[in-house]
């Protein structure tokens, strides 16, 4: 029986993959045989990831992209197809959170930036990639959301709104494109030790409170999310769509 996690020959695009969960996912995908496009705003940071993948025998390519700009999003998808051929797996991982504080104090510009980068960009990516997947009758989209979309927050409320919107986006796209063989799923990580979440885990008091109410008594590491990303991109999950996998050390299940 073929290894259902084998990604040999699959073409994968991962946004925000120069660090954190995206980087760990790119490295894992390549180790499983995928051809991976590493993308973020800074080409040099992406190149460092690609160099590491190639040093380990993997196949990867850099296409820089600022997900808040539609022309760059479209160039990312077009450039991937030009370099590797049809896309099999799209991982919408890049996100922003320029505001930390009470929700009702957020400036319109910051709110618009959050919704544009965390929701609208995913629509752009999917609109560009999914139709070609549907023509071939298969494909997988993975949206990296957050448990912030499941819980309230006194400091990252707008970010949580955007991540809740990603759950709804996932369900709707799954319904629209499932008949054509395209699957769309979400992953909702808890607090993970990434540069993106530094403001949360570098705060020792916050970290202590968080781990005290987390059943596993710690925060996550990027590679612990990457395995689920690979699962959703692989043939292991071919009967799964419209779903959200929560990976949070049990924090959303715990009684306080």
Backbone dihedral angles phi then psi of residue 156, each to the nearest 5 degrees = -130, 45
Residues constituting the chain: 256
Architecture of domain 11-247: 3-Layer(aba) Sandwich (3.40)
Task: Say what the pLDDT of residue 142 is.
Answer: 98
Task: Say what the pLDDT of residue 198 is.
Answer: 64
Residue 164 is encoded by which pair of tokens?
Answer: 């809740």
Does the annotation mark 159 as catalytic? Answer: yes
Residue 223 is encoded by which pair of tokens?
Answer: 């590679």
Task: Say what the pLDDT of residue 208 is.
Answer: 84
Q: Tens digit of pLDDT for each residue in 144-191?
A: 999 999 999 998 999 999 999 999 999 999 999 999 999 999 999 998
Catalytic annotation, pick one of 84, 99, 159, 231: 159
In 112-214, beta strands by DSSP E:
139-144, 182-189
Cα of 32 vs its chain's centroid, Å: 18
Task: Say what the pLDDT of residue 37 is.
Answer: 98
* Whole-number Å distance between alpha carbons of 100 and 110: 10
* Whole-number Å distance between alpha carbons of 256 and 251: 10
Residue ranges of the chain with per-residue pLDDT less than 50: none
Task: Say what the pLDDT of residue 201 is.
Answer: 58
- Spatial CA neighbour of 91 closest among 56, 126, 133, 132: 126
């Amino acid at each position: 029986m073929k290894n259902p996690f084998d990604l040999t020959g699959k073409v994968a695009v991962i946004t925000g993959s120069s660090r954190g969960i995206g980087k760990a996912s790119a490295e894992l995908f390549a180790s499983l045989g995928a051809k991976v496009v590493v993308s973020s705003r800074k080409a040099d940071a992406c190149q460092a990831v690609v160099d590491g993948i190639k040093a380990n025998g993997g196949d990867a390519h850099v296409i820089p992209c600022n997900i808040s700009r539609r022309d760059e999003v479209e160039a990312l998808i077009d450039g991937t197809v030009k370099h590797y051929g049809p896309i099999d797996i799209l991982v919408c991982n890049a996100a922003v959170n320029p505001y930390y504080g009470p929700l009702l104090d957020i400036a319109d510009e910051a709110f618009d930036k959050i919704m544009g980068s965390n929701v609208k960009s995913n629509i752009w990516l999917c609109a560009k990639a999914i139709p070609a997947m549907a023509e071939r009758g298969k494909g997988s989209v993975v949206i990296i959301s957050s448990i912030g979309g499941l819980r309230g927050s006194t400091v990252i409320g707008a970010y949580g709104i955007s991540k809740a919107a990603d759950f709804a986006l996932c369900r709707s796209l799954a319904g629209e494109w499932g008949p054509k063989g395209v699957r769309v799923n979400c992953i909702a990580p808890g607090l993970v030790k990434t540069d993106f979440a530094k403001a949360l885990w570098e705060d020792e008091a916050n970290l202590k409170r968080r781990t005290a109410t987390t059943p596993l008594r710690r925060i996550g590491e990027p590679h612990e999310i990457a395995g689920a990303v690979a699962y959703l991109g692989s043939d292991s999950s071919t009967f799964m769509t419209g779903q959200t996998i929560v990976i949070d050390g049990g924090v959303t299940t715990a009684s306080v």
